Amino acid sequence: MKKMRFFRSIHFKFALIYVLLILIAMQIIGVYFIGKLETQLVENYQVSLNERVNLLAYNLEQEVNKVRDEDSPSIESDIRVILEDFISDDIKEVRFIDNKSKVLGTSSPYNQSIIGRRMNELLVKRTLLGVGDKKIVLDGNQRIYVSYTPVRSNNEVVGAIYLTAWMENVYDDIKEINDIFVTGTAIAMIVTALLGILVAQTITRPISAMKRHALDLTKGNFSKKVQVYGHDEIGQLAMTFNTLTRKLKDAQSTTEGERRKLTSVLTHMTDGVIATDKKGKVILINDPAINMLNVSRETAFNQPVLTLLNLDSKYSLEDLTNELESVVLDFSTETKPYIIKINFSTIQRESGTINGIIAVLYDITEQERIDQERREFVANVSHELRTPLTTMRSYLEALADGAWTDKNIAPQFIDVTQNETERMIRLVNDLLQLSKLDSKDYRLTRDWIEFTSFFNKIIDRFEMTKNQDVHFTRHLLNTPVYIDMDEDKITQVIDNIISNALKYSPEGGEIIFHVEVHDDKLEVQVKDGGVGIPKENLDKIFDRFYRVDKARTRKLGGTGLGLAIAKEMIEAHGGEIWAKSEEGIGTTIYFTLPIDQEIEDDWS
């Protein structure tokens, strides 16, 4: 492993660069030098042969022009002697051909049979025409120099010399020189590699120190400094590196401080925050956002924000970065409303490119509920006031048109107008009372009241004034129970509950009053035998202006605020109020009031 690391190090790369540079330089020099040397040796060899051939041509010319008698040797014999004298170690064969293309002699003792034959080669014919030629050919693995030289006498070609010579000795010399050059190159490379390692060590030592220091920086260690070995470029780099370390330390301290501030802000924010990268994947999410979306942090990280918010079927990432500023998500269930508003903003670099998206999540469930209640309240008040006002205007217009003179109609019209006026007065009074109950400075006028006798008096009053055939049944306490309460407000609550029970009880029906004590609270029940309330409407009867049977309630003069006022008053006393009902059987209204056991014991 260490060996592999060495081959990957800059130390090895420096030495390798030196060696490669020397190798390339020697190769370039070698190619040029060997090429030139080969050309020069071949040319010198050819010049040497040509000089000898020219001398041979002169001797042959003299022999051809020699006058012979009958006793003189034949021309072939003389030529053979001349050619044999010409032979040396590097000459393979030399022939002389006369101007009729007939071979007159050859230096090869093994090729004497060709004497007297004609040579019809093209180059021989060209040479006899005065055009010589030369070339190098391969005979197996041997290089052979071949030349054709014309022999002239009195400017006439009297013959041709055909010469073949060995050239391997020339190339052997070249090979020997090449081997010497390769050996010198290898020695130079070894020396260069050693020098490269030494030179590289002086360069890589400060670089290695900076590498170790950089690794320490990645671990957060800013205390060390790089040693400066000189004032050259590497020394200046080391000093710059130390300066950079100091600035990074300051920047890291500042960034860490800002990160802590940001973490604290995000942690203690009530709003959810989600940050993404430029691809829309979540890189930051705080606890409120996790709770709002009901996901785990591990699930949210690196997930596309559109998928996390269930918006991928409606919007694209370009919509979030371009035009979409906010969106409202409804996570409500049948039992619990839950609405979230999300505002989007982009993170941009100085160049203007978008680097991410910030999504801020707000829980607007309560705000939406309040807005809805406000809208319903305004609509209900408008409707409740418009109905009697419309009726009054119609009857007053009729009276103004002359109906007041009719003794039979006028009293009826005035009676209706008066009833509608009283109905509006009751509505306004109920609204004023609700407004007081909603105000923070609302105060109860409490006093200790014995509840059993107090409850009996209210029931007696209704029993004496009722105009219906409805039977009252009482299941009250035999012992006195004292409650700290506002007598007027609780009277109003009970009046409202009994009035509703009478309104919805049929002729011959029964209303049952029941009082029980449970530990630290008093529970009161008022049960009627009316038509009952549908199950889906049971939780809404304490809402303002809510009516189960709107037509009947309005006909009986109800405003739809009685049970809402009762709920506010009971809760102001620290109690609870609720209802149970079955359609066709009846409805039971329950409410509780707290009992102070110590005070109760004192009264007892």
Pick the CATH number of 270-363 from 3.30.450.20, 3.40.630.30, 3.40.1160.10, 1.10.443.10: 3.30.450.20
How far is residue 173 from each of residues 91, 113, 176, measured CA to CA in Å?
17, 35, 5
Nearest to 476 by CA among 497, 449, 455: 455
Whether residue 171 has pLDDT greater than 50: yes
With 0-12 CB in 10 A as exposed, 13-18 as middle and 19+ as buried, what is 309? Answer: buried
Are 511 and 528 a contacting pair, CB within 8 Å? yes
What is the full DSSP assignment across 520-588?
A: TEEEEEEE--SS---GGGGGGTTSTT--SSHHHHHHTT--S-HHHHHHHHHHHTT--EEEEEETTTEEE
Give the model's pLDDT for residue 592.
93
- CATH code at 447-603: 3.30.565.10
At residue 439 the predicted structure's pLDDT band, cuts being 50, 70 and 90, is low
Enter the tokens of residue 105: 């002699």
Please choose, from the candidates 571, 591, 568, the residue with its C-alpha nearest in 3D space to the C-alpha of residue 579: 591
Rg (C-alpha) for the chain, rounded Å, is 62
Nearest to 525 by CA among 464, 578, 565: 578
Helices within 440-561 (DSSP H only): 451-465, 487-504, 550-555
Q: How confident is the model at residue 384 (pLDDT cuts 50, 70, 90)?
A: low
Residue 523: what pLDDT? 93
- 369-438: CATH number: 1.10.287.130
Q: What would the 3-class secondary structure string for 155-195 be?
A: CEEEEEEEEEEECHHHHHHHHHHHHHHHHHHHHHHHHHHHH
Please state, in angstroms and rounded to a whole number, the distance separating the CA atoms of residues 163 and 296.
Answer: 99
The neighbouring-strand residues paired with 447 are 485
369-438 matches 270-363 in CATH topology: no
Q: Which single residue is written with the structure tokens 């009947």?
A: 552
| Nearest alpha-carbon partner for 224 in 235, 215, 233 | 215
Average pLDDT over residues 124-144: 83
**Total length of the chain:** 604
Q: Which residues contact 604 (CB under 8 A, 6 or more apart)?
A: 479, 480
Residue 475 to residue 478: CA distance in whole angstroms = 9
* CA 345/CA 321 separation, integer angstroms: 7
Residues 6 or more apart whose Cβ sits within 8 Å of residue 494: 455, 458, 524, 526
Structure tokens at 497: 């509950």
> 270-311 pLDDT, tens per residue?
788 888 888 888 888 888 888 888 888 888 888 888 888 888
CATH architecture of 8-174: 2-Layer Sandwich (3.30)
4 or 196, higher pLDDT: 196
Q: Residue 239 is which amino acid? A: M
The pTM assigned to this predicted structure is 0.42
Tokens of 37: 């040397």
Tell the residue number behind the tokens 């008093």, with chain if given. Answer: 522
Instruction: With a cut of 50, say whether residue 553 has pLDDT above it.
Output: no
Please state the rounded mean pLDDT for residues 539-544: 76
User: Which pLDDT value is given to residue 593?
Assistant: 92
d(CA 148, CA 305): 92
Q: Comparing C-alpha atoms, which of 496, 511, 509, 498 is closest to residue 558?
A: 496
pLDDT band at 555 (very low <50, low <70, confident <90, very high): very low
Comparing 296-310, 519-533, 542-556, the range with the smallest average pLDDT is 542-556
Domain ranges of the chain: 8-174, 222-268, 270-363, 369-438, 447-603
Residue 40, classed as helix, strand or coil, is helix
- Percent of the chain scoring above 90 in pLDDT: 6
Strand arrangement of the beta sheet that strand 133-139 belongs to? 103-106, 91-98, 156-166, 142-153, 133-139
Residue 98 pLDDT > 80, yes or no?
A: yes
Residue 158 CB-half CA count within 13 A: 15
